[in-house]
Amino acid sequence: MVTYEKQRCWSILLRLFHWMFALSIVVLATTGFYINNPWAGNMIEGSRAWPITSYVRYIHFIAAYTFSSAVAIRLFLYIFGNKQERVLDILPVTGRNLKNLFSTLLHYSYISDKHDERLGHNLLAGATYLITFFAALFMILSGFYMLFPEVAFWQKWGVILLGSQQQARLYHHLVMWWFIIFSVIHVYFLTWNDIRHPEGLISSMFTGVKFKQKV
Amino acid sequence: MADTVNKTLDPQLNRRGFLKGCTMAAAALGLSDTMIPKLVEAAATAERPRVIWLHFQECTGCTESLLRGSHPDLARLILDIISLDYHETVMAAAGHQAEQNLLETVENHPFILVVEGAIPRKDGGIYCKIAGKTAMEILGEVAPKASAIISIGTCASFGGVQAAAPNPTGAAGVQDYPELVGSTPIINIPGCPPNPISFLGTILHYLTFKRLPALDSMNRPLFAYGRKIHDQCERRAHFNEGRFVEQYGDEAHKLGYCLFKVGCKGPETFANCPAVRFNDVGVWPVSVGHGCTGCTEPNFWDTMTPFYERLPNVKIPFAGSVQSADQIGKKILGVTAAAVGVHAVVGVGKRLIKGNKDD
């Protein structure tokens, strides 16, 4: 009989970040598709008209500020979070982390049944989250460049890093696809892990607690 | 009562036309009407600034729009407030005499340089030669001695159509040649063609205040390029309330709805077209039912095309094909979903064969 014990893993701030991030991405992608191609065209003029495009853009901007705040929280946690949340725990540079990366790759491709278990993210997940973090920074930069193109700061850096508004729009749109594809893989591997390992991976993002074998 | 302002002015330019031109420039500059007398005074001064106007790789469309675009007073006003010492399209001199005029002004007088057209760099710049000298050589001789450079049109500002991919002659705008220009300040007045009012406003600002107007990060004067077309567009309400042209010639197009979905680049383009308009009859592309093509932005031939699509196409590396951003996204998403499915099936299959070894 194997016994398990509760171990505190994710702080309340990280869980807050996660759900702000996840929900804002859903809203941003949905409204973003609409803004790129406003399908609900109508021919209603005058007092019966309703500013639909303005409202969709407004929701997009509210979600964008939520998204930016979430990214700011994650940046704080990468530096000042608990051990599992810090960037050194998932940066593939130390021997311990590289070992975990290869072991996870072998485990995920069904080659090895061994599982280098740790309390925080495995390296494959953690490194993907780090890439997503940088993609999020890019979305914030390109987004604010398009929202405030007249402001000297955004104009200067936007022109240097991205080019014209049209180029910013294209890159903003292309990088959005990373978030959609990431979500599919993310949810799949969470479910996959939750089925194979009884640590309560999915519920840990609500409760902050994982279940680990008692040693 | 012609020519009451200044005896040196063209007798065909009457006082009314003169004041009208100055007032239009003041409006474009966003100046109060109390400033108009100062503009008039500056424009009427006997000391007219010398201007050298160089043509390189271009179509002369900027000159044409300046000379013919508006009521004749505007062109005459511009040609009267400046002393145009060298301009290949309108100067009387030819051959060695013309080159002599150019040399005389460059060596002996302060002058403003106006450049129209891109400058090719490839193969030593041999793709544009005038009087046996390459465009780069001419720019290198004239530009450092100018008190200011006005790059008129998108070609002189950013390279324009000559610089569009694959840019066979290595064309680039004036500001891309800092080694030839030196420390001379550059103002870009892009557009294909730019509005003559923006050019007149810049000149009058310089004459009146003895300094250049405030510029944005691409050296475009803010009075003309400080706002997005989309934010000043008369069709903006249709955008906000979801009334769009779905294709050219449909009912929505006849009703004058927003051209966003047929590729109007107004949301990506900075210019004063909706406010200042063209040809003195109050028109600009969107007002006559065609989307903006983004002609005042750098590399617009590469980045704003296709003109009738919302987003540029993306070149697929190695495959050599071109697709829209969403086509690519959907394909990668499909491949991802398929890979996830295969991964799940392999996992289930392995478990069926070998039994559950985890936990």
> What's the rounded Cα separation, in Å, for the pair A7 and A15?
15
Residue A188 and residue B297: Cβ atoms within 8 Å? no
Chain B's closest residue to A185, CA to CA, is B340
Q: Is pLDDT of A83 > 50?
A: yes
- What the block records as the tokens of B26 is 């003041």
Q: Residue B9 — very low, low, confident or very high, per pLDDT cuts 50/70/90?
A: low
Task: State the smallest CA–CA distance between residue B20 and chain A in angstroms.
Answer: 30
B348 touches A: beta carbon within 8 Å: no
Task: State the smallest CA–CA distance between residue B189 and chain A in angstroms.
Answer: 16
B236 touches A: beta carbon within 8 Å: no
- Which of A37, A49, A163 lies nearest to residue B261, judging by beta carbons? A37
pLDDT above 70 covers a percentage of chain B that reads: 93
**C-beta separation of A85 from A120 below 8 A:** yes
Q: What is the mean pLDDT of residues B116-135?
A: 93
Q: List the end-to-end C-alpha distance of chain B, in Å, as a whole number.
A: 102
Residue B255 and residue A113: Cβ atoms within 8 Å? no
**C-beta separation of B255 from A42 below 8 A:** no
Tell me phi and psi for residue B163, to 5 degrees: -85, 0
SS3 B53: strand
Interface test with B, best of A53, A174, A175, A190 (most B CBs within 10 A): A53
Domain ranges of chain A: 4-36+51-213
Task: State the smallest CA–CA distance between residue A189 and chain B in angstroms.
Answer: 9
**C-beta separation of A214 from A199 below 8 A:** no
Cβ contacts of residue B107 below 8 Å, gap of 6+? none
Note the pLDDT tens digit of each residue in B185-230: 999 999 999 988 898 889 888 888 888 899 998 999 999 999 999 9
**C-beta separation of A45 from B240 below 8 A:** no
pLDDT of residue B4: 44
CA torsion angle for A67, A68, A69, A75 (degrees, to 10)? 110
- Which of B303, B346, B358 lies nearest to residue A113, judging by beta carbons? B358
Q: Residue B12 — very low, low, confident or very high, per pLDDT cuts 50/70/90?
A: low
Q: Is pLDDT of B2 > 60?
A: no
Stronger pLDDT, B18 or B293, i.e. the higher one: B293
Only one residue has tokens 């607690």, namely: A209
> What's the rounded Cα separation, in Å, for the pair A16 and A22?
10
pLDDT of residue A184: 96
Q: Output the average pLDDT for chain B.
A: 87
pLDDT of residue B40: 81
B256 touches A: beta carbon within 8 Å: no
Q: Tell me the one-letter amino acid at B132.
A: G
**C-beta separation of B307 from B333 below 8 A:** no
CA atoms within 13 A on the CB side of A76: 11
Residues of B in contact with A186 (CB under 8 A): none
- Which of B303, B314, B337 lies nearest to residue A166, judging by beta carbons? B303
Q: Is pLDDT of A147 > 90?
A: yes
pLDDT of residue B359: 46
Only one residue has tokens 């730019």, namely: B194
Residues of A in contact with B261 (CB under 8 A): 37-38, 41
Note the pLDDT tens digit of each residue in B281-332: 889 999 999 999 999 999 999 999 899 999 988 877 776 677 788 888 899 9
**Interface confidence (ipTM) of the complex:** 0.89
Q: What is the mean pLDDT of residues B89-106?
A: 88
Note the pLDDT tens digit of each residue in B50-60: 889 999 999 99
Q: Residue B24 — very low, low, confident or very high, per pLDDT cuts 50/70/90?
A: confident
B303 touches A: beta carbon within 8 Å: yes
Q: Residue B10 — very low, low, confident or very high, per pLDDT cuts 50/70/90?
A: low
> CATH assignment of A4-36+51-213?
1.20.950.20
pLDDT of residue B357: 56
Q: Is pLDDT of A185 > 70?
A: yes
B337 touches A: beta carbon within 8 Å: yes
> What's the rounded Cα separation, in Å, for the pair B328 and B298?
26
pLDDT of residue A143: 96
Only one residue has tokens 């300040």, namely: B185
SS3 B4: coil
β-pairing verdict for B111-116 and B50-55: parallel
B247 touches A: beta carbon within 8 Å: no
Q: Is pLDDT of A61 > 80?
A: yes
Q: Is pLDDT of B171 > 60?
A: yes
SS3 B151: strand
- What the block records as the tokens of B174 is 């004036």
Task: State the smallest CA–CA distance between residue B166 and chain A in angstroms.
Answer: 18
Q: How many CB pairs under 8 A join A and B?
A: 129
- Weakest-pLDDT range from A97-106, B133-142, B217-226, B312-321: B312-321
pLDDT of residue B5: 46
Q: Which residues of B32-64 are buried (b: 16+ CB within 10 A; e: fewer)?
A: eeebbebbbebbbeeebbbbbbbbbbbbeebbe
Interface test with A, best of B343, B346, B353, B356 (most A CBs within 10 A): B343
pLDDT above 90 covers a percentage of chain B that reads: 52
Task: State the smallest CA–CA distance between residue A53 and chain B in angstroms.
Answer: 5
> What's the rounded Cα separation, in Å, for the pair B29 and B213?
9
**C-beta separation of B28 from B49 below 8 A:** no
Residue A174 and residue B329: Cβ atoms within 8 Å? yes
Residue B261 and residue A197: Cβ atoms within 8 Å? no
> What's the rounded Cα separation, in Å, for the pair A34 and A50?
16
Residue A2 and residue B294: Cβ atoms within 8 Å? no
Residues of A in contact with B246 (CB under 8 A): 41
Q: Is pLDDT of A91 > 50?
A: yes
